[in-house]
Amino acid sequence: MYIRVFVTSGAKRDVITKEGPDSYTVSVRVPAERNLANERMRELVAEEFKVPIGKVRIINGHHRPGKILSVEWE
């Protein structure tokens, strides 16, 4: 399953918000450096879909706020 995610780093708290059937907005507290924001975003998406973090991959947008993720179901 592919989903679109828009990530905001440096937020006051970690929040994931569903914007549409396959789009989410994710706010993370960590800064966007050394891949910290991407890793925290993957953790939050994995928790949301109740899958291991290894099942969440960034397909497109590694260095941008807008990303496309692949979430693999078991």
- Per residue in 62-72, pLDDT (tens digit) is 999 999 999 99
* Amino acid type, 62: H
Q: Is the pLDDT of residue 50 over 80?
A: yes
Q: Is the pLDDT of residue 56 over 90?
A: yes
Distance of CA 32 to the CA centre of its chain: 13
- Per-residue pLDDT, 73: 81
Over its C-alpha atoms, the chain yields an Rg (Å, rounded) of 11
**Full-model pTM:** 0.93
Structure tokens at 19: 């914007």
Superfamily covering domain 2-71: YggU-like (3.30.1200.10)
